Amino acid sequence: MNDLSFLYTKAGIDYIRKKYGFKNSKSLGQNFLADESVIDAIIDAAEIGPEDFVVEIGPGLGVLTAKEARRAGKVCAVELDRALIPILHDLFGGFPNVEIRNEDILKVDLAALITDAGMAHTKIIGNLPYYITTPILMALLEKRVPAESITVMMQKEVADRVTAPPGGRTYGALSVACQYYARVREVVQVPKEAFVPAPKVDSTVLRLDLRQEPAVKVADEALFFRLVKAGFAQRRKTLLNSLTGAGFGKETIKAALQAAGIDPVRRAETLSLEDFGRLTDAFAGE
């Protein structure tokens, strides 16, 4: 059964759910995509070709997997829910380039998985389980997973934070971290009605192109993130006050802010990545 086009509709998803007696788990974030135009937007944005290895996070009933299988050299789809595995095996048994893994994406050694696949390029794709969007993004970025891009759907509010420029209320530690490791861009906004069952929130697909070098070069990366975390932990306070949370005394903070040319009454949300970079190097030099 290699023609899986029936999957791309609500009727197709209902058919599979009935056939296998499958019930969606709310706690695993199982809102399945049932709009082929959105599925195509994700697949097109990821620019998958025969040289590519695709790692899919949470295939569910395989609506994205079916399109990846036709375009990519190899696909590995990592699904936590054991109940979905026999369904995915039935659906993808006829695709020798698709491997289904029953694992928690947060526990998979992605670097080893990608090396073992032996393909020229790797792309990560997924309609993310929303309850762990930030941990998944941060794990992929901080571990510097050896992939070229991450094209994923997430809750709109989280996507807005990932792409936010400095100066607004949505700009925070997640924006800085994502933009430090990747070039981020919005692909498409997706209404609740595109899913079965419909979630309570709207969604956005983002593409993150992983940078070879971080957006700013700093003397001490751990310190950079310590300052970002402290700055945004008390985002309504001035930098002079919020940065005490990073473990520095007021005089040291004043001197570092002055060396970096940053007014001590500014708040973290007004600082660009370059500002945080300069500030990090000023602290490192103190």
- Give the residues lining the site for ligand SAM (CB under 6 A): 28-33, 57-60, 63-64, 78-81, 104-106, 127, 129, 132
Q: Phi/psi zone of residue 255: left (φ > 0), alpha (ψ -120 to 50 degrees), beta?
A: alpha
Judged by CB, which is closer to ligand SAM: 132, or 210? 132
**Three-point CA angle 208, 209, 210, nearest 5°:** 105
Write down the least CB distance from residue 12 to ligand SAM, Å: 11
Residue 194 DSSP symbol: G
- In the complex with ligand SAM, the residue whose CB is nearer, 130 or 233, is 130
Nearer to ligand SAM, 79 or 269 (CB): 79
- Residue 110, phi-psi category: left (phi > 0), alpha (psi -120 to 50), beta (remainder): alpha
Nearer to ligand SAM, 35 or 160 (CB): 35
Minimal distance in Å, beta carbon 116 to ligand SAM? 19
Give the nearest distance from C-beta 136 to ligand SAM in angstroms. 8
Number of helices and strands in the chain (H, E): 12, 9
DSSP per position, 79-135? ---GGGHHHHHHHHTT-TTEEEE-S-TTTS-HHHHHHHHT-SEEEEEEE--GGGHHH
- Cβ nearer to ligand SAM, comparing 64 with 273: 64
Nearer to ligand SAM (CB atom), residue 64 or residue 228: 64
78 or 256: CB nearest ligand SAM: 78
Rounded CA-CA distance 117/200 in Å is 37
Backbone angles phi, psi at 150, to 5 degrees: -130, 115
CB of 244 to ligand SAM, least distance (A): 36
* Minimum CB distance to ligand SAM, residue 60 (Å): 3
Of residues 100, 16, 91, the one with CA closest to residue 57: 100
Residue nearest to ligand SAM (CB): 58
Closest approach of ligand SAM to the CB of residue 277, in Å: 33
Q: What is the DSSP string of 204-220?
A: EEEEEEEPSS-SS--S-
What is the nearest approach in angstroms of ligand SAM to the Cβ of residue 70?
A: 16
Residues near 126 by Cβ (< 8 Å), separated by ≥ 6?
56, 57, 58, 64, 152, 153
